[in-house]
Structure formats: structure tokens, C-alpha cells
Structure 1
């Protein structure tokens, strides 16, 4: 069975299209990078004749990227990468574009989710754009005959890159993929500021609780965890970091945070935020030691970081105490509150809008130029996982600086020669 485009499945298409269009236009007003790229793409048509298949969080900022791809001449088919992050009105507005088909719909089940991904694959994409890896893995596992006509793809998030790297090491990744997640522009801005700000904002809006005075346990001190810890600390919380990597643990310690293991932190935390991309970060042995009324949220990727199956087995009752807050009451009366069903709290919470617009402008700008690079120079890249060429990452930074009216120094010829040569002594 194949999914139908979302416009065939909503009651009031015109109302949804108007609402979605307003959201997309607002996003574009604050996305100078994609605005500049869209103008350039419209003029040069670098994606003419290509079909771009996408599995992303379908909301207004993503729509700006999708429309930039279409402006460059591409046919685009898109669906969601998380059943709870789709904004149906934005999906309908995208589907109204003559060169875009959107299958994304909020709240679909697992069967419908993969039917939508299969529908995107049915468009025979020549380029894939992924968040979490489900699209590229589905192609390899279920539609390997499509691979020969795929130039390459991009992957945006940590979880997807982990999976792709394992796939590449096993010799199972059969077309080139750009690792957008590990570019400086992604780490320094999207992960640190985007995840940090949006996760805390959506937890606060969902719970109506203050950060001041809370003990916030941040699981994982990668770039996302650093951002969450930094922003929580800035709002008056006491931050405790848990880690499995000794260098990251030491970094957190040297930056002034308490560092411990989760077994110890479980007894003391008021709010737990997972940012690891791994599974079972919070499990039965932790739930049993938690204080009454704790809040659990995931800012990683998939809904596996908090083991909800084990929490459900421990609970004597569950109920929704606020929109987006599920309370689990344990045998001893302890109440454990889980936000957004353990999915990405900054995208799946009831009020969630994802990362700030300006931050996603930078990340999606990198995605756009990576797609352009694959179309123009795809033959230069063998099958496997590739770093994004540094010149592309710098191009996006320069575009942003230009939009902000910020000037930086330019090295002289003498300075360039000095830095590039090994012949100069001390």
C-alpha cells in the first residue's frame, strides 16, 4: 500500500494551505541564507532534472529548504522523520507547490510512517536528504534497485550519522552521503544554541515550571548536551552531567559542572534531559531511585533514550496530567512525568516549533549547498560517508555574515604565504 499526498487526506485544504503559507513566509523573513540561496538557485537552476527525496521534520523552517530545492529546478517528494513533529498545515502548503509532493502527516502510526517513506522512494529520487537515516536505510533494505540512479545524499543528525558510519564500516553504504551533522556550522550553532534553547523552552512551556533552583541532569556532553547544560546553567539551574566518554566528562568537569554516573544522579535530579542518541539511558533501575515529581525529556533523536517499556511495567497507573505530560505512578507513590512520549521534546511537545529560525537557516543552508555539490560534482565522491567540504561550510558562514553586515579581516598575500609554508623559521 502507498500513501497519498497529504492534500488528499485533510478536511479543509484551503484553510490549511493559508495557515501553512503564513508560517513559511514568516520563516523565510528570518532566513537570509536560504533567501540568498533561493535567489541564486532560481537564476542558475543547479538542480534542474533532479528528484530530491526528503525525510525531515516537516515544519516551516524545513519548508524553506524544500522550496529552495524546488526553486533550483528539482522535483521534491518529502515526508516526516518523526510522526509527532509534522505541522499538517505546512505539509499542505508544500503539497500545493507544483514541483513538491508532501506525504507528511502528524500523528501517523508506524505502518503509515513507512508507507509515506515508501511513497517518497516511489518518486525515484536522484538525491536523498535525511534526518535520522530512515530514508537511506529503507532504500538499501527494501529498494536496492533504486541505488544505481541515486547520485548521493545528506544526513543531518547525530543519530543518523552514527548509523551511517556503522553501515559504511560494514561496507553496506552503496552511495555517497555527506555528514552534515559534523560540520562546524552544525555543531557550533544548531547543536549548541538550537538544541539548548529549543529543548529548554519547550520543556518550560509544556510544564509551566521554572528552571531556577532545579537540579537538571544532562545525559551526554556532546555538542547538544553542552548547549542544554549551558542554557540551563544560565537560567539558574544546578547542572549535573553524565557521560560515558572520559574526555567529554573531563571537559564538563573543567567547565564547572558536576559530573557523575546516572545511578548516582537518578536520586537527585529534578529534570532529566537525554542528549545521547543511544538507547536505555534512563531505565528501570533509575526510575526506582527518582524523586517524586521528576520530569523526563529527550533531546536526542529517537524515542529510545528513555525506556518507556520498563517505566510502564513499574507503574501502577498512568494518566495525562497536562497536554504532552504523561504521569507514571510507581508502587511507592513516586510520580515520574514524561514529556512528548519520550520523543524529541523540542519538536514533539504540544507547543513545539523546533530550533530557532535563524539557527536552522544555517544548517539548512549547508544542506542546500551539499545537494548542489552532489549534483554538480557527484562523480568525485565514492560510495560511503563523506565530510562536507570545508569550503561549503565557510560559504554558509560568509553568507550569514554578509546578511548581518559584519566585516572580517582578509589575510594579505604575505600572511597567506607565511601560514602555508613550512620554510619559515622562528
Structure 2
């Protein structure tokens, strides 16, 4: 093992841990109580410094861990080296091809896990299709992102899911902070690192106005961009309109946009007919989990020439009429490929909920949780928020006894 990589990874992890006081405090508690003693955990997550702090927390609680990457372009090799040196089985390397990506997931599953942690549902999918011999030993797991929750709910509807999964993505602390502020800042960071473009005065088209899309739209507008939102959900489209954004179909937005960001969790959001009418120099970035939101195959077919790496993480596609379209990060997650992902202070909350949810699963599964998708218990979400406020030195009010009685009584009048 390259000692220089280990040292670099340790420094990176240490820097992230400074901004993750809640997870650090949970790690200290886990080390004292050992609630995960002997638990085998297989994880498919972005191999970043923030993830490393989560892995350290689970290991402190007694877990044996095998980690694979949920995206080969987001893996930080020095972090992987430091985790391996710490005694965690890491099956990940930056930039591997599709076959190696899935091979690494299989290697993580070789641990025969009792708990699984997933980001996008690939690991859970493989368990249910190719590694079914391991299913009976799985107590349950956690899912980190919207795309994975969509898949899990469909599995539940088809009665295919064989164990309980906790929807960490759906907690208030995850959606409000990780999805909105984390995705918003890190996506804009990735676009600016890859292109060094000035967003002020540009037209930025944001496809999808969930919490992630809202965060991207807010950050782009804050930097002086004119923001256009595309949506399929009438309620979200109305929300965007009432917040002052221009809302229109992608067919119209495609002609006007300078920068396009897809944040939907669906495929083919930007298709050939949209690419055909885009401006010269249009920038395409994806902040959804999988690399299917931009139809890269259609872009390849339209292009007469492709110039790879005109800037780091930027490929230039030249169309027949000379127009140039810039694709960032090969259509993969731009914030984790061209930048460093969400700030550690945001991941502190998401990964704290993840750690506490694992401990909850271990406690509750013997009492008979059925297969399905479960919300993180409200007390876990509130505990994470309280710990985060305490770490920031922020105090909140408590209800008085009279207020408690009022809220729990139907007899009190106006």
C-alpha cells in the first residue's frame, strides 16, 4: 500500500471530521456502548472523506465493514487507502469501468452482510437478482438517495423486497439540508471548477424542482443567473413559479439555456430533440444519481467530432453545423466528479441519521419489522437536529407545561 496515499487520505478525513461534530459525538458514544458488536455491514456509497467518517463511526460501534463505490468517478483513492489501512475492506478505485464497478459490489457482498447501506439501490438490486443466497441473513438496510428510494418503493409495490429498508433520504434533516443546500452548493461548485464560467447573466435551466433542484436554482440565482425550471409535477411547477422562476417545458428551455442541470432521478430528461436546438457553447451537467438523465448516446450520434478533456471533466461535442456542446463529468454526478461533493457540515447530518438508523434496525429487527420501506424514526431526526444545533451553540425554546397541555387537548377553546 502506498503510504503517501494513506497519509493524504488521513489528512482529508481529518479535515472532514472537523466539520462533522454530530457524527463524531455518535462515534464516541458507539465506541463506549458497542451497539453493533459483530455486525457485518456491506456498503455501496461514494468513497469520500465524509463517508470515511461514517465508516469509522460504525467500526467504532463494533461493525465489520466492506465498502464498494456507488460511483467510480467519485472515489477518492487516498481515502480508500486510508480506510483500508484502518481495517475496512474497501473495493473501489477511481475511474473503473462498468464491469469493475459491479465486481466491486459483489466483493463487498462477499462479507455476507446482516445490514446493507446503499446509495442508488444497486447493491440491494444485486442482492435480489444475483446474490439471492445471502438474502436470508440480511436484517435490513438504509438507502441514501432519492433514486434508490424510488426503486425500493417499486420493489415493495411488487412484493419483491425481502427485508426492511430505512429511507434515510426522506428525513427532514436530509432533504432540507443535504439535498437542498448540499446539492445546490456542490453542483454549482462542480460546474464552475469544470468550466470556469461566469454564471451571472447566464440562463441556467434546472430540470426538476424537488429539494435538490430547488437548491441548485437558489444557488444559481444567488450568483446572478436567470433560472428556468422544467417540471412534470404541477405542484412543484407552481411552487417554482411562485418563487419567481420561469417555468416551461424543456422543448422551449433548450433554445434559451446557457447551462443545463438535470436533477430528476429519471432518464432521458435531455434528449436528441433538445440537443439539436441548443446554443453554441451550451453546458450540460447532471446532478441526478445515475448517468441516464442526459442522453449521451444521442449526443454522440449528433456529434461530428468529440474533443475529450478540453478542460478537466469537460468534453466538447462539435455538431454538424459547428455548434459546440460541453458535457461535464461524462453525464455522471457533476458535484462528485468535478468537485468534492457535499460539504462535510451537511453530510454530518445525513450520515448521523444513517448511523443511528443502523443501530435502530439492529434493535428493532428481532421484534419483527416486515420487508418494506420505513421512515427514519422521528426521534432520530430530531436528535440529529438537536445535536447539530448544540454543536453550533444555538439554543431553541422549550414548551411550557401550559403549552404542552394546550397542544394535547381538544377541549380548549379559542
TM-score by length of 1: 0.96
User: Could you tell me which residue of structure 2 aligns to residue 3 of structure 1?
Assistant: none
Tell which deviates more after alignment, 371-380 or 154-163: 371-380
What residue ranges of structure 1 are gaps of 5+ in the alignment? 1-6, 8-12
Quick one: distance in 2 between partners of 1:104 and 1:315? 32
> Is 1:83–2:78 an aligned residue pair?
no
Query: Could you tell me how far apart the structure 1 residues matched to 2:46 and 2:185 are?
Result: 18
Mapped partners of 1:408, 1:323: distance in 2: 45
Shift of 1:139: 0.6
CA contact (8 A) 2:190 2:337 kept: no
RMSD: 0.8
Aligned to 1:181: 169
> Residue in 2 aligned with 1:16?
5
Q: Deviations over 1:241-269 (max 9, x none)?
A: 00000000000000000000000000000
The reply on whether 1:297 has 2:289 as its aligned counterpart is: no
Residue 258 of structure 2 is matched in structure 1 by 270
Name the SS for the 1:266 alignment partner: helix
Query: Equivalent of 1:33, from 22, 25, 35?
Result: 22
Give, in whole Å, the separation in 2 of the partners of 1:127 and 1:421: 41
Q: Give the Cα–Cα distance (whole angstroms) in 2 for the partners of residues 202 and 86 of structure 1.
A: 15
Partners of 2:287 and 2:405 in 1: CA distance: 45
Map 1:401-416 to 2 at 5 A.
Answer: 401-416=389-404
Per the alignment, residue 358 of structure 2 pairs with 371
Q: What do residues 182-228 of structure 1 show as CA deviations (whole Å, max 9, x unaligned)?
A: 11001110011000000001101110111100000000000000000
1:69 maps to which residue?
58
2:373 match: secondary structure: strand
Whether 1:358 aligns to 2:338 is no
Is 1:207 matched with 2:195? Answer: yes
The SS at the match of 1:211 is: coil
Q: Distance in 2 between matches of 1:422 and 1:122?
A: 55
Distance 1:367 1:58 in 2: 15
Q: Is the 8 A contact 2:315 2:330 kept in 1?
A: yes
Q: Equivalent residue for 2:319?
A: 330
**Pick aligned residue for 1:94 from 61, 79, 83:** 83
Q: Cα offset for 1:423?
A: 2.3
Q: CA deviation at 1:425?
A: 2.3
* Aligned counterpart, 2:306: 318
- From 37, 42, 65, the equivalent of 1:53 is 42
- The equivalent residue for 2:157 is 169
Runs of 5+ unmatched residues, structure 2: none
> Distance between the aligned counterparts of 1:95 and 1:57, measured in 2?
15
Partner of 1:341: 330
Q: How does 1:81-160 map to 2 (within 5 A)?
A: 81-98=70-87, 100-160=88-148
| Residue 42 in structure 1 maps to residue 34 in structure 2 | no
Shift of 1:421: 2.1
Report whether the alignment pairs 1:258 with 2:246. yes
**Shift >3 Å, 4+ stretches:** none
Deviation at 1:380, TM superposition (A): 4.4
Tell which deviates more after alignment, 121-130 or 144-153: 144-153
User: TM-score by structure 2 length?
Assistant: 0.98
* Matched residues, number: 412
Shift of 1:291: 0.4
User: 2:370 corresponds to which residue?
Assistant: 382
State the alpha-carbon separation in 1 of the partners of residues 178 and 408 from structure 2.
31
Once the two structures are superposed, residues 316-364 of structure 1 have per-residue CA deviations (whole angstroms, 9 ceiling, x without a partner) of 0000211111111111111110000000000012xx2100110011111
Distance in 2 of aligned mates of 1:412 and 1:137: 48
Once residues 239 and 299 of structure 1 are traced to their aligned partners in structure 2, the CA distance between those partners, rounded to angstroms, is 16
Equivalent residue, structure 2, for 1:10 = none
User: Which of these residues, 200, 220, 224, is aligned with residue 236 of structure 1?
Assistant: 224
Distance 1:422 1:167 in 2: 40
- Separation in structure 1 between the aligned mates of residue 64 and residue 38 of structure 2, nearest angstrom: 8
